[in-house]
Amino acid sequence: MTGARRTGHDPVVNVACIVVAAGRGERLGEGRPKAFVEVGGRPLVWHALRAASGAARVTHVVVVAPDGFEGDPALGGAVAVVPGGATRQHSVANGLAALPGDTEVVLVHDAARCLAPSQLFDAVAAGVLAGHDAVIPGLPVVDTLKVVDGAGRVTATPDRTELRAVQTPQGFRRTVLERAHAAAVERGDTDAPDDAALVERIGLPVHVVAGHSDAFKVTRPQDLLLAETVLARRAAAV
């Protein structure tokens, strides 16, 4: 999963993927870090790494792991592993610091979105290679959303046609992502919901490409059941 694997795509551009697997996942109630909860007989992070390393454009993979799990077999011997931080933002920064010097494009992927297909990684990377500073996958929002104040009163109803449910992997020019993280440190900003938000906060545009229904986030026990269903569907299609 490491090394500059060359394909017919953009042969001089190195695309690295940081797989963030350091979250505790307390809502799953499994008593272990979320990325190491199993689905289909394998930890979530194993599935995420398989997708990342299977992407044609990805040349290097770094995993950000929780303390004590850096040598877990699920991470594979060929993957560079670094420790996580106190926040997701800190964990991504640790992953950034571990990338090879010649990396030009960075994908950031949450291991909890373990079934995002390899094609989604390639689509996001292609968007950055086409000239965008930041690219994120998103799906149209199907529910009606309300803005609610602290007293429980609805203050606005956004037009859902302008809304997207955002997923990972998210892709960036390396220099842009590093600049966004450095600016966040200067501001004392630690609460960004994702890396795209950090890029927005330095005033740069973020481009959206089509997401994928399989790139849902495993957060609750019922999400594990959905993941099992997706894996069974894929196995039946082979």
Which sign, positive or negative, has the C-alpha torsion 193, 115, 71, 174? Answer: negative
Q: Which CATH number fits domain 14-237: 3.30.1490.190, 3.20.20.220, 3.90.550.10, 3.40.50.280?
A: 3.90.550.10
pLDDT for res 3: 44
Per residue in 218-237, pLDDT (tens digit) is: 999 999 999 999 999 999 99
pLDDT for res 12: 67
* Bridge partners of residue 130, in order along the sequence: none
Do residues 65 and 82 make contact, with C-beta atoms less than 8 angstroms apart? yes
Q: What is the pTM of this model?
A: 0.93
Q: What is the spatial distance between Cα 146 and Cα 22, in angstroms, rounded to a whole number?
A: 32
Per residue in 150-189, pLDDT (tens digit) is: 999 999 999 999 999 999 999 999 999 999 999 999 999 9
The answer, yes or no, to whether residue 85 has pLDDT greater than 80, is: yes
Range with lowest mean pLDDT among 19-28, 117-126, 127-136, 153-162: 19-28
Residue 33 has which token pair? Answer: 């870090």
The answer, yes or no, to whether residue 1 has pLDDT greater than 70, is: no
Mean pLDDT computed over 62-81: 89
pLDDT for res 5: 47
pLDDT for res 187: 96
Mean pLDDT computed over 17-45: 89
Domain ranges of the chain: 14-237
Q: What is the spatial distance between Cα 186 and Cα 181, in angstroms, rounded to a whole number?
A: 9
Mean pLDDT computed over 195-205: 98
Do residues 63 and 79 make contact, with C-beta atoms less than 8 angstroms apart? yes
The answer, yes or no, to whether residue 92 has pLDDT greater than 60, is: yes
Mean pLDDT, the chain, rounded, equals 93
The answer, yes or no, to whether residue 121 has pLDDT greater than 60, is: yes
Q: What is the spatial distance between Cα 40 and Cα 104, in angstroms, rounded to a whole number?
A: 34
pLDDT for res 127: 98
Of the candidates 119, 163, 129, the one whose C-alpha atom is nearest the C-alpha of residue 144 is 163
Answer left, alpha or beta for residue 42, where phi above 0 means left and psi between -120 and 50 means alpha: beta
Q: What is the spatial distance between Cα 60 and Cα 10, in angstroms, rounded to a whole number?
A: 15
Do residues 33 and 77 make contact, with C-beta atoms less than 8 angstroms apart? no
Those residues whose C-beta lies under 8 Å from the C-beta of residue 64, and which sit 6 or more positions away, are 18, 19, 20, 21, 22, 81, 82, 83, 84, 85, 91, 92, 94, 95
Q: What are phi and psi of 64, to 5 degrees?
A: -100, 115
The answer, yes or no, to whether residue 2 has pLDDT greater than 70, is: no
Q: What is the spatial distance between Cα 26 and Cα 221, in angstroms, rounded to a whole number?
A: 11
pLDDT for res 76: 84
